[in-house]
Amino acid sequence: MQGKPLILLALDESPFLQLGERALFSAGFETAIVHDRQALGRALQGLSPSLLLIGEQLSGESGLDLAAEQLERFPTLPILLYAEKDTLAIAKEVLRVGLSGYISPPLHTDDLVTAVRRSLKRARAIGDWVRGEVKRTTSSLQRQVTEFDTIFNNIADGVIILNKQGYIILINRAAAQAFGVTIESVFNRPAAQALSHPDLQSLLGRSADEGLKYHEINFDDGRVFNAHFASIPNIGSAITLQDISYLKELDHIKSDFVHTVSHDLRSPLTSVLGYAELIGRTGPLNEHQTDFMARLQASIRDITSLVNDLLDLGRLEAGFDTRREIIQLENIIDYTLDVLGGQISARNITVHFTAEPHLPSLKANPLRLRQMLDNLIGNAIKYTPPGGEVTVRVRAEGGQVILQVSDTGPGISPTDQPHIFEKFFRGENVPDNVPGSGLGLSIVKSIVDNHQGRIWVESAPGHGSTFFVVLPAYTPPTA
């Protein structure tokens, strides 16, 4: 059963206080009286009154100021001001502070009770409205949360949301199924522990250190996911997972087809080139015939080179490259620069090569690394305009050997950069007079991948390009 409304009287001793207390009691209200700021604060905190009636002055302090302070603490509390005189200034101040109203002499007991009841009724109406709005808002939020949960858990792509500390605060059903866990088992746990997949660990580590956005996550059953990492301001980060297993399978089928066709083409191409070279021995050719034969032989050599590149790429992707030796990368770079010396001189390009002393060894296929360097340094020379510079640096860091090849060429546009390691891709800004099949960087990436390394590019149009290759250093077995 609900008790009587409690009216708190914050008034100095006066005839009005005695009159008001009796009038309110007779009207069925309970009352409590305080005479200073400290008592007022304690009463509001402990008694939870239904209404506060405060004097214009309370123990020498402004009742309006005290009322304003209490409204900040208890914004829904109705407050009436008792003023000695009814003036326009008082009315303005009551409105400014936000009080329920004010009363002033001449005053009858019925006037006081009526003012109190009116304020309580208005407060109840406001309270009912606020509760209704809160209920509607809560219902709307609950509906939105339900809708979001339905959408989030039915997205085909996996989504993982991490807070700033790397803890999983949201994960949808697709992501949980991809890693073979339940949503409940990984919620509010560090992603590095809850989802202990090496490719995901690499993504998290590299994203924090290098700003990496894309990474492939490979599972033992053949599934492959393209993972995208994005920072979310004031929250943490998000990882999205797209299943690209079928694309990988199509790429594998395409590679098998290209490898088969390339293998079948090489023998007839060799025969055509041989017969083309023999034509000149069967009798004298005129000037035009000699020119045509030279062009024919050059074209056949270009096609043969393309076929050989395709076969090399096929062998690399098939995992046939198993030869490994203990080598020093800086020695292979020296050899590569010597071989490319003619191109460097012909284009009047300056090459700077620096290597840290006492670099660790690599366990690698020297022929493949030579092929990798031929492509990377050769491309840098090819795309650098005459009089430009190419810089090759090698250093060691954290058990890895890091190679950087920089040029002062035209650079690579941001839209082209994600595709430069794809087969047959050539950038939009490649000069027309620069030959190429679009296979060189694809071969380079396959070589790096086969040596458990990483490769990426940093470039901007008009500011050249820098290719980074990171290879694991060789660690001699312990006795």
CA dihedral 332, 336, 337, 342 (to 10 degrees): 160
**pLDDT band for position 299 (cuts 50, 70, 90):** confident
Measure the CA–CA gap between 90 and 94, rounded to whole angstroms: 6
The strands making up 6-10's β-sheet, listed across from edge to edge, are: 30-34, 6-10, 51-55, 79-82, 101-103
Which pLDDT score, from 0 to 100, does residue 97 have?
85
Task: Give the single-character DSSP code of 283.
Answer: S
Domain ranges of the chain: 6-130, 155-243, 247-318, 325-472
**Helix segments in 27-108, DSSP class H:** 37-47, 63-73, 88-97
SS3 call for 364: strand
Backbone angles phi, psi at 470, to 5 degrees: -115, 120
Q: Which of 346-350, 366-370, 448-452 is predicted most confidently?
A: 346-350
Distance (Å) of CA 202 to CA 195, 236, 415, 418, 454:
12, 18, 25, 19, 11
Question: 456 Cβ partners below 8 Å, 6+ apart?
Answer: 467, 468
Taking alpha carbons only, the member of 111, 10, 120 closest to residue 56 is 10
Half-sphere exposure of 274 (CA within 13 A, CB side): 6
Tokens (6 digits) for 158? 């996996």
Measured CA to CA, the distance from residue 447 to residue 70 in angstroms comes to 74
- Whole-angstrom distance between the N-terminal and C-terminal Cα of the chain? 86
205 φ, ψ (degrees, to nearest 5): -65, -45
Closest residue by Cα to residue 8 from 45, 66, 52, 55: 52
Q: Which of 1.20.1440.230, 3.10.620.30, 3.40.50.880, 3.40.50.2300 would CATH assign to domain 6-130?
A: 3.40.50.2300
pLDDT category of residue 14 using cuts at 50, 70 and 90: confident
Name residue 167's beta-bridge partners.
190
| SS3 call for 125 | helix
Q: Which residues contact 33 (CB under 8 A, 6 or more apart)?
A: 8, 9, 10, 11, 17, 21
For 155-243, which CATH superfamily applies?
PAS domain (3.30.450.20)
Q: What is the pLDDT of residues 126-156, one digit of tens each?
A: 877 777 777 888 888 888 888 888 888 888 8
In the chain, the percentage of residues whose pLDDT exceeds 70 is: 86
Q: Tens digits of per-residue pLDDT, 92-114?
A: 888 888 888 888 888 777 888 88
Contact 475, 401 (CB under 8 A): no
| Residue range 73-101: mean pLDDT, rounded | 87
What's the CATH number for 325-472? 3.30.565.10
Distance of CA 261 to the CA centre of its chain: 42
Instruction: Convert the pLDDT of each residue in 252-286 to its tens digit.
Output: 776 666 666 666 666 677 777 776 777 777 778 78
2 pLDDT above the threshold of 60:
no
Write the DSSP assignment of 48-71 as a string of letters.
Answer: --SEEEEESEETTEEHHHHHHHHH
Mean pLDDT of 168-192: 90
Q: Would you tell me how many other CB atoms lie within 10 Å of the CB of residue 331?
A: 12
The two tokens of residue 86 are 């009814």
Q: Tell me the pLDDT band of 294, cut-offs 50, 70 and 90.
A: confident
* pLDDT tens-digit readout, 393-415: 999 988 899 999 999 988 888 88
Range with the poorest average pLDDT among 54-63, 82-91, 198-207: 198-207
* DSSP-based three-state secondary structure for 400: strand
Q: State the fold for domain 247-318.
A: Helix Hairpins (1.10.287)
Is pLDDT at 188 greater than 60 in this prediction?
yes
Pairing of strands 51-55, 79-82: parallel
Q: Give the span between the Cα atoms of 208 and 192, in whole angstroms.
A: 13
